[in-house]
Structure 1
């Protein structure tokens, strides 16, 4: 079975300036894949290449085992853009019927399918209202409905929860879970990293047009630990020892907070405290959240710490 998405050294240059430098990805069929990066990192350009909306300057890419320009591949792809502009003079039902016809769906199938997706996105009963009267959140829901209307094998969701309240975000997570259970691949781009952390199987972090880290969510979050140390006195000598074992994020008085790359460092931290002659009051490890990992990765590449 071919990968849902496969790219190798993808590059895109606009007017002599690279928007994407080197993006290599492999997304398996049936997984939820998070594509993360700061503004200007090359995410949108990469998605446009995967959708066949723009051609790469260099590199290779396949979507569902075919070129994204292949009409057969595009029949099985759904897309919810971040900056959507829908036909707001249509009702929700008319909008979905129009897109269903573009997908090549038959009238009988559309009569059955439209109420299903309206119920999934929480708009059943509002389908006869014109889209121009929908709130931003409702417009996002109808956009999600059109993206999944034709039961695609691969769905690109660009900021699908940005206009939704917490309940709406949970409903979108549930929809993504159902898509995964049906074997649909979901390629998710979101700035709401807590949503990505709860939803995705694997992620890739892109920065300045390059993938800086990718892998399974659990494995990436297990790579680094934040450790809070409390001692009776933090001497300069002890602080130097700690710097040799991890990245000191804050220090002073009777404590320090460090970032270390594995649990194997924990006994060595305790030994460093004891060998310095200090008394160890507490050593508290904590896994980094996805947001903290993301900030750490991007900061390493920019030479900054923090946001």
Structure 2
């Protein structure tokens, strides 16, 4: 049994036309079993094409890919997979329980097992109180949670969630985030495609950013959001002489803390500047309250790299 949930080598898709459209350029990607992976990119970046390729909904122009060691496009590869598509639709006249029964049947779940599995999942997504209500009466958040439940009917080892929090209010987003964390804790591999970067940053262990059909950034959230070798210091308020002595390379700002006192937040570009600042702070009797690597939000990183026209694709593995 392979330790890789997804493994692609040179996977590519070009749609015929005049001119042809390279929706996904040759992609090498490995996603470990049990990983929560986030796929990011602007519209037209190739995200949907990649998901459709992996699910066997479209055929690749070049390259190959496997899911748990099985070639994509085969029943064996699809069997352990669940899928929540963006903008999914359910028959509005069916109840939530009936909906899960129908989708469980299509996913190959035995008839004798479907009722108990449906009840289990309705409880998991907090819809047990609405199990016998018509889906047409559901809110957007309820529909999204029901969509996740249908993607789990066949007890998948890998689940694709395409915009699972789309149109959901903050409370609903938190519930879905908790559910994704539960799946991760249960060892399910989650492939998350979302425009809500703050949600991706919270739940994903690793992300890739696609642009123009190629990956331009890939790595753990921690590695990608770390700002090079910069450091951040939180100190007690700085005397004017100390602030002047630290020099123009230092970015300093005053921030309010919950205790009601003003602190100084310093961003230093490298370890040399850090050591210089620490020496000066100690000499001037300034208290250092926190020291950590400087980070930017995943959203800031995304905007930066997507707008940077000089960035090329990552080198093949």
Range class of TM-score, shorter chain: 0.7 to 0.9
The equivalent of 2:61 in structure 1 is: 57
| 75-84 or 292-301: bigger deviation | 292-301
Which residues of structure 2 form unaligned runs of 5+? 234-239, 252-265, 278-291, 312-317
2:68, 2:212 → 1: CA distance?
A: 27
Say if 1:38 and 1:128 are closer, same or farther in 2 by CA, change over 3 A.
same
The equivalent of 2:284 in structure 1 is: none
Counterpart pick for 1:78 among 72, 76, 82: 82
Give CA-to-partner distance per residue, 1:65-93, whole Å, 9 cap, x none.
11221112211100001121222221111
The equivalent of 1:301 in structure 2 is: 309
1:299, 1:40 → 2: CA distance?
A: 14
Offset of 1:232 from its aligned partner?
5.9
Counterpart pick for 2:167 among 163, 167, 170: 163
Say if 1:63 and 1:166 are closer, same or farther in 2 by CA, change over 3 A.
same
1:52, 1:128 → 2: CA distance?
A: 33
1:124, 1:109 → 2: CA distance?
A: 17
1:6, 1:59 → 2: CA distance?
A: 11
Say if 1:184 and 1:269 are closer, same or farther in 2 by CA, change over 3 A.
same
Offset of 1:23 from its aligned partner?
2.1
Contact 1:11 1:20 in 2 (8 A): yes
Say if 1:296 and 1:108 are closer, same or farther in 2 by CA, change over 3 A.
same
Give CA-to-partner distance per residue, 1:42-70, whole Å, 9 cap, x none.
10111100110001111221112112211
The equivalent of 1:278 in structure 2 is: none
1:302, 1:259 → 2: CA distance?
A: 26
Offset of 1:299 from its aligned partner?
2.0
Say if 1:137 and 1:62 are closer, same or farther in 2 by CA, change over 3 A.
same
Offset of 1:285 from its aligned partner?
7.3
The equivalent of 2:98 in structure 1 is: 94
Which residues of structure 1 form unaligned runs of 5+? 249-256, 271-283
Contact 1:227 1:286 in 2 (8 A): yes
Q: TM-score with structure 2 length normalisation? A: 0.77
2:276, 2:161 → 1: CA distance?
A: 43
Offset of 1:267 from its aligned partner?
4.4
| 144-153 or 174-183: bigger deviation | 174-183
Offset of 1:41 from its aligned partner?
0.7
1:259, 1:166 → 2: CA distance?
A: 35
In the TM superposition, what are the counterparts of 1:1-307 in structure 2 within 5 Å? 1-2=1-2, 3-14=4-15, 15=17, 16-224=20-228, 225=230, 263-264=270-271, 266-267=273-274, 286-301=294-309
1:265, 1:100 → 2: CA distance?
A: 60
Contact 1:34 1:203 in 2 (8 A): yes
Contact 1:154 1:185 in 2 (8 A): yes
Contact 2:5 2:31 in 1 (8 A): yes
Say if 1:265 and 1:288 are closer, same or farther in 2 by CA, change over 3 A.
farther
Say if 1:77 and 1:269 are closer, same or farther in 2 by CA, change over 3 A.
farther
